[in-house]
């Protein structure tokens, strides 16, 4: 999905949307990840050691880093937001002037989840607890 470009007549037609390019790149990445994950791995070992996991994680990190700082919602901890961070996040959403800030940031989280979901699912199975794994599971 290619981000739309501005049209001038002689002034800009569209209001600025700082999140659009990053959101489009993230959506494109999610499609690539889903195509990759559509073919099941031949073994759990292959799932856990596939280099594309790192490749897609790096692409997502690049997309997130290329997004304007004023629209990326970051927290110190992923599971807790303190009052100061809450105020900062709300201010970023309001001052950006782009109602897609939350959607873009949720797209980042969706892509991250899509990359790692199969590994997380398998790791939650009792039979694949790290202490119970043997060389048989690698086959």
Kindly calculate the radius of gyration of the chain based on its CA atoms and give it in whole angstroms.
Answer: 19
Q: Does the residue 76 lie in any domain? A: yes
List pLDDT tens digits, range 97-106: 777 788 888 8
List pLDDT tens digits, range 66-89: 988 888 888 777 677 788 888 888
| Structural domain boundaries enclosing 57 | 20-138
Q: Does the residue 1 lie in any domain? A: no
pTM score, whole prediction: 0.75
Question: How buried is 33 (Cβ within 10 angstroms: 0-12 exposed, 13-18 middle, 19+ buried)?
Answer: buried
> What is the rounded distance in angstroms from the CA atom of residue 98 to the CA atom of residue 117?
30
Domain count, the chain: 1
Q: Does the residue 82 lie in any domain? A: yes
Instruction: Say if residues 43 and 124 touch (Cβ distance below 8 Å).
Output: no
């Amino acid at each position: 999905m290619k981000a739309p470009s501005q049209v001038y007549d002689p002034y800009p037609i569209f209001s600025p949307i700082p999140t659009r390019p990053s959101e489009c790149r993230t959506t494109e990445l999610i499609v690539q990840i889903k195509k990759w994950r559509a073919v099941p791995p031949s073994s759990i070992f292959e799932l856990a050691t596939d280099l594309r996991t790192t490749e897609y994680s790096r692409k997502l990190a690049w997309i997130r880093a290329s997004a304007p700082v004023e629209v990326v919602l970051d927290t110190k901890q992923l599971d807790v937001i303190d009052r100061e961070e809450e105020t900062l996040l709300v201010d970023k959403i309001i001052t950006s002037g782009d109602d897609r800030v939350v959607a873009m940031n949720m797209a980042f989280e969706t892509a991250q989840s899509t990359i790692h979901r199969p590994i997380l699912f398998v790791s939650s199975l009792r039979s694949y607890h790290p202490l119970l794994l043997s060389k048989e599971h690698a086959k």
